Structure 1
Amino acid sequence: MTLPQPPRTALAPALLTATALLALTGCGTSEADGAGGGSGAPVVIRIPDPGNSGVLAVGKKDGSLDKALAKAGAKVRWTGSAGPFAPAAQAMNADQLDIATGSLTSGITSLAQRPGFKFFTAVDPDAAGEGILVKNGSGIASVADLVGRKVAVNQGGTGEYLLLKALARANIPADKVERVYLRPDQTAAVFNAGKVDAWAVWATYAVAEIGTGTAHFVADGAAIGSENYSLNAVRTGFAEQHPKVVKALYQYLRDASAKEKQNPAAYLNVFTDAGPTAVTGKAEQVQIDFTRKGGTVGPIGPEDIKRFKAVAAFYAEQRVTTAEVDVAAHLLDIEKLK
């Protein structure tokens, strides 16, 4: 995303089921035997389907991503769908996925297991698009007003980090606020039904809520002091076997994210402007504003690594992890790949 353990309420299972993992990865077979191997066939890189928005959605629709990867002898296989990083990390560990995107915070909790992946890009923390969401008229005007309330968070990920970071910055003991652990895709209904008082969340889910005109951030990433980077991860074995492909993907993401920041509207509603995956009305302008204020894909530098370490230390202090995770041991210097 120092203090005693807070009370915890789980309204939904936090662990990934086998069914959910299969839904994410689509086909569970390895692509190793079809990845070039001297046969002249292109390397297949497995990436979660990007949905209806973002640089990968545009790359899928216009073929620009495959064109960029073809120069490195590769092509994309879209598998499953993009979602939380934890199941994607499990899929990479199981050799069912090669690339995934997630937050630094969810990455740290995944690295605390037995990781089979490395991070190779970084986007600066989202100062505008993540924060503590509350309903208009809730009576919650500051982080201090969360004391004695219930706040929905995703366990070990961005939501839990944002809440703990906000409380620490306001010098409020974490056990003064009840964390309600929910999967992000299950939280909107609970939040809107008033079963929780606030939701620590990021742009993927916040845009729709803010777009209704009935909710707002009581504290955004800037106010919280969030150091929660967005990262791209690659399966370790894939990076070792196909460094040129990883480098080509990085260059595509870097260039495309800069274009997206300049013209966010062109990267929304890529395949359809109607239905549940479309961003419409006020929500569309909210997303455009967040993207314009956001960062772009770049390499992971020394200053980034220092901030990664600070977040890992914070997670250990807050007992989200049992020990400080060594994030630096799981990074690729993309600029050195050949």
Structure 2
Amino acid sequence: MRLRSLTLLAAAAVFGIAAVSAYAGEPLRIGYQKSSTLATLLKSQGTLEKALAPQGVTVSWHEFASGLPMLEALNLGNVDVSADVADTVPLFAQAAGAQLAYFAQESASPDAQAVVVHEDSAIQRLADLKGKKIAVTKAAGSHYLLLAALKKGGLTIDDVSPAYLTPADGRAAFENGKVDAWVTWEPFLTSVQQQLPVRTLDEARGLAQYKRYYLTSTQYANSHGDVLKVVFNELQKVGRWAKANPADAAKVLGPLWGNLPPATVEAANAHRTYDVQPVTLDQLGEQQAIADAFVSAKLLPKPVDAKAVATWQP
């Protein structure tokens, strides 16, 4: 692909004909979640399609319930890039043999996760979670927060009964009293805090940084750098726009997030940085700590070297 594209461009220069994009006619398939705020805004605004049009690249959007199945689709070649996933998710994908490349990250947003219980619950401290049923999404950032919170309370994952549920199912189980606690992230966190009588048992600050990463395959990173550069630039732009225009962003996102009130969306977004930056291997220290915690809890099948990945630089 790369050699062919250089040949076409050279011929165009010599004969004075219009340059042919190396990617003309290729689709860019993007996986995203409801909590993928910047991807959702890009999809709504159509700005990425416009930015990629000069290269002849079209865009298709594919929604997933959570990050782990999205990276499974990436590994299988069913999507080309994944919008943001929590820091835990790439580690599970690595353990499954995925060849990943990090191409962007949102800087840490620890206030965007928490452990919540019902307001009238007898659970007053983390140690009281012993023997309780806790809703959490497998491999999500909230999964690591659960491990860290249990450790802080002198417990391990073996001391509780985790219920591995999607965010929607976790909310339903919590609301119906089928679980004693729920570990979740934004916008689900602010939504339940504002709509139900709940207490925040513990927050992620001091326990988990909660970074979110954007990924692709190593093959795609090596062959489609120009496309990734456009995606990276548009993510940075829409991230700055979302922070500078919180009310406007809330009006767009509210209907897409289950008709959440604008005030709820604004409050949720205030807990996320939306600061998009490149990724370097020396920034993956907490990734290794997360991987080691999951191996220790026997939730990862084997040790993972968090730095055994590629990073694409803009």
TM over 0.5: yes
Instruction: Say whether residues 1:316 and 2:295 are aligned partners.
Output: yes
Instruction: Say whether residues 1:161 and 2:144 are aligned partners.
Output: yes
User: Which of 77, 100, 103 matches 2:59?
Assistant: 77
SS across alignment from 1:128: helix
Supply the distance in 2 between the matched residues of 1:275 and 1:163 (Cα, whole angstroms).
Answer: 28
- Give per-residue Cα distances to partners, 1:125-163, cap 9 Å, x unaligned: 321111112122213232122122111122233232111
User: Which of 64, 89, 113 matches 2:71?
Assistant: 89
RMSD: 2.7
User: Contact 1:106/1:158 (CA < 8 Å) preserved in 2?
Assistant: yes
SS across alignment from 1:151: strand
Instruction: Say whether residues 1:238 and 2:220 are aligned partners.
Output: yes
User: Contact 2:91/2:291 (CA < 8 Å) preserved in 1?
Assistant: yes
Supply the distance in 2 between the matched residues of 1:269 and 1:52 (Cα, whole angstroms).
Answer: 15
User: Contact 2:221/2:228 (CA < 8 Å) preserved in 1?
Assistant: yes
Deviation at 1:164, TM superposition (A): 0.8
Deviation at 1:81, TM superposition (A): 1.4
Deviation at 1:276, TM superposition (A): 6.2
**Corresponding residue of 2:270:** 289
- Unaligned stretches of 5+ residues in structure 1: 1-31
User: Contact 1:119/1:331 (CA < 8 Å) preserved in 2?
Assistant: yes
Instruction: Say whether residues 1:147 and 2:130 are aligned partners.
Output: yes
Deviation at 1:58, TM superposition (A): 3.2
- Unaligned stretches of 5+ residues in structure 2: 9-19
**Aligned in 2, Cα 1:210/1:124: closer, same or farther, shift over 3 Å?**
same
**Aligned in 2, Cα 1:109/1:266: closer, same or farther, shift over 3 Å?**
same
Supply the distance in 2 between the matched residues of 1:52 and 1:90 (Cα, whole angstroms).
Answer: 18
**Aligned in 2, Cα 1:248/1:128: closer, same or farther, shift over 3 Å?**
same
Supply the distance in 2 between the matched residues of 1:164 and 1:50 (Cα, whole angstroms).
Answer: 23
Instruction: Say whether residues 1:45 and 2:24 are aligned partners.
Output: no
TM-score normalised to the size of structure 1? 0.78
User: Contact 1:51/1:277 (CA < 8 Å) preserved in 2?
Assistant: no
**Corresponding residue of 2:211:** 229
**Aligned in 2, Cα 1:188/1:70: closer, same or farther, shift over 3 Å?**
same
**Corresponding residue of 1:277:** 258
Moved more, 74-83 or 230-239: 74-83
**Identity percentage of aligned residues:** 22
**Corresponding residue of 1:3:** none
- Give per-residue Cα distances to partners, 1:97-130, cap 9 Å, x unaligned: 0111211112211111021432211223321111
Instruction: Say whether residues 1:112 and 2:95 are aligned partners.
Output: yes
Instruction: Say whether residues 1:194 and 2:177 are aligned partners.
Output: yes
Supply the distance in 2 between the matched residues of 1:49 and 1:301 (Cα, whole angstroms).
Answer: 23
**Aligned in 2, Cα 1:247/1:170: closer, same or farther, shift over 3 Å?**
same
Supply the distance in 2 between the matched residues of 1:199 and 1:52 (Cα, whole angstroms).
Answer: 17
Deviation at 1:281, TM superposition (A): 5.9
SS across alignment from 2:307: helix
- Give per-residue Cα distances to partners, 1:271-309, cap 9 Å, x unaligned: 7x5586322065234324323xx3511111355212222
**Aligned in 2, Cα 1:46/1:301: closer, same or farther, shift over 3 Å?**
same
**Aligned in 2, Cα 1:240/1:301: closer, same or farther, shift over 3 Å?**
closer
User: Which of 76, 86, 105 matches 1:103?
Assistant: 86
Deviation at 1:169, TM superposition (A): 2.3
SS across alignment from 1:102: strand
**Corresponding residue of 1:215:** 198
Instruction: Say whether residues 1:181 and 2:160 are aligned partners.
Output: no
Supply the distance in 1 between the matched residues of 2:303 and 2:145 (Cα, whole angstroms).
Answer: 18
- Give per-residue Cα distances to partners, 1:33-57, cap 9 Å, x unaligned: xxx8966524421113676983333
Supply the distance in 2 between the matched residues of 1:281 and 1:260 (Cα, whole angstroms).
Answer: 13
Deviation at 1:241, TM superposition (A): 1.4
User: Contact 2:103/2:313 (CA < 8 Å) preserved in 1?
Assistant: yes
TM-score normalised to the size of structure 2? 0.83
Supply the distance in 1 between the matched residues of 2:34 and 2:163 (Cα, whole angstroms).
Answer: 28
